[in-house]
Structure 1
Amino acid sequence: MRDDFLPLSRPALGEEEVAAVAESLRSGWITSGPRVAELEGIFREATGAPHAVAVTSATAGLHIVLSALGIGPGDEVATPSMTFASTVNQIVLRGATPVFADVDYGTLQVRPDALAARITSRTKAVIPVHFAGAPADLDPIRAAADRAGIPVIEDAAHAVGTVYKGVPAGGPPRPDTPGNIAIFSFHPIKNITTAEGGMVTCYDDAFAARLRLLRFHGIERDAWQRYGKGGTPHYDIREPGYKYNLTDLHAAVGVVQMRKVAGLNARRAELARRYFAGLSRVPGIDLPQAVPYAHSHSWHLFIVKVTGMDRDGFIGALAERNVGVGLHFPPCHLLSYVRERFGTREGDLPDTERAGKGIVSLPLFPGMSDADVDYVCEAIRESVQGVRR
């Protein structure tokens, strides 16, 4: 029995991040400025997208994306139910209707055929989710969206470092073709963090300009352009916007984190392999399955499904052994307000619901030791075998 608590996640922050924040503080420029511009440039280079717009969260990013697309009452947006509620909340808050597609039980990725089947004349966008760090199958999803003449919004909140068929999340299908809109998250649990923050990448010049207006009150030029060297304080507003601009203090952390992301993700992959080795023969535990197409997994989460005992009992047994876990995610179509407002019910999405009853996210973060993984695996074996005796 370990004495200290092993959390689900812990951000990989060190003295470089502390120094970067201190440098920004000493510079006197702490709101959106040169560090935000630098982080946006890093994401343009990492994804191949010509535009990157830093925001205060992925949720804020989705809000302005849906706003810029003009999605509202009478419109539908197709998405998996196996996602964080933020996605559905933003659709609903725009006055639109979320329409849910089932996932593959083994991989938890949305099924392209199920997503395509949800597209109607009222569908104005589809939002596939790169779940847990593996990519959704974008080629057939893009094809279905193209046939309908609607955009694909990649939910890349889990996908900093994820690659689909040789193309990074948020990147174009081929070098000579435009890509989708993609939204990344920098929440503390994610593969990189800025404490709180997010990034939107896109390929349309006018759309990117609209996002920049919406993220900062509708003002055409941000504070750095107005008050930085060579700037002018004049501005105009042609439509009202929001207050979603990322600060330099946050971006300074992100710039350092992006220098480290390859190593951080490599360590996550090592820990995932150790989990597979330690849990491969444990009855009553379904391990994550690999997607059947070329990809690189960033291992944002390691999610098992508990089938051999009551899930709450399993969570309690790990808690008694000082191991923290997560639930990613309760199916959105079964959330109370969604059921009441849109009439969704149990039985609508069989594989999503089957997975949703058993999913548990195990501790996974770069600062974990091999011994930490071994301890979790042993705790799981003891918990499951204790029930079976």
Structure 2
Amino acid sequence: MNKKALLKLEDGKKVELAILEGKCGPSALDIKDLYKNTGLFTYDPGFVSTAACSSSITFIDGEEGKLLHRGYEISQLIEHDFLSVVYLLLYGNLPTEQQYKGFVSQVQTLFKQVPKEIKHIIQAFPTNSHPMPILMACFSCLAASYHAQHGNNIADLSFGIAAIAQVPVIIAMIYNHISEQEFAEVSDELSYSRSFLKMISARSDATSVEALDKIFILHADHEQNASTAAVRLSGSTNANLFACITAGITALWGPAHGGANEAVIGMLEEIKHLGNIGQFIEKVKDGEFKLMGFGHRVYKNYDPRASELKKVCTKVLNDLGTHDNHLFEVAMELEKIALSDEYFIERKLYPNVDFYSGIILRAMGIPTNMFTPIFALARTTGWVAQWYEMKNSKENKIWRPRQLYIEN
């Protein structure tokens, strides 16, 4: 039996709204005909209570602290390698051994097919540029090339796989440029994560490769977040895939989204030493400072990605050591306080994925300004999967939010 809600208006008019039930999570009131039937909009700043689409890719239960990809718990998927999870997000199932080999071969082939124009675009930027706007420019170039060859026609999934395969090469090239190094040789004989690590650093130890692979998995997709919404919104206008990924990169750069892991390191550097933590915490409680890397818009429990990255963080710090020991001492003390202080417990300000990812990448010797591009590298998979799902949905229409007009 279909459930319905009854909306009673002051003028006595009654409107029935269908209640849509998903596989799991909250149900949704179907309000698509509300304006037509009542002349009323709904008002929901930040879309905190609005489902803008239906999706079968990722599910978050913020109250319970759960994250599922295609029905699999993130704790299950973290035991796989990144390309297996990429395959899952794109095709809906984990690959068989034969499917995995074929997919890896396809990705490795595409690794070396970055258009030559990308190199010139990267070199046009000053070496002191932040890598994110360079990455935007590179995907704008890909968008132009894609549009010239195919217009705005819906392409098959191979174009999305090309984006996933080439983004690590592009980001490595950006890193080489801003580090004033020669462009690294692209290897298609190594694993996805090891290849990227080899292009941006001399290290390829098992601990670093495994840590990077898990960071990629944990950042691959996260439901309808700001950057994914930007990709879907842009895609709803029939803009091509690479143009929409550019929109995603733009949204991700903000410190309230993908730039948060950079902000974590900035916060730790500002605190500097263990002796300064007490004063810093008091200023956080007084509202003078924000505790970066703690709490989450969706999770009202421990971020399940943070639970997994905490294990990775411990292993990385134990295996690699670091020359910035004081920063990591500060980080671990902040974590201890947040998990024991009633102020943070009451407000559910648990360490999130940005807190641990920033610490791990710093321990691996990766510069802070590369943290968000690495996030973009991983999230490209989610953007591609979400874009194709949207383009193939019968419900797809141009996104056009409305407003409540007020006087100055």
Q: Structures share a fold, TM > 0.5? A: no
TM-score (norm 1): 0.26
TM-score by length of structure 2 reads 0.25
Say which structure is richer in strand: 1
Q: Which has the larger radius of gyration?
A: 2
Using CA pairs under 8 Å that are at least 6 residues apart, name the structure with larger relative contact order, 1 or 2.
1
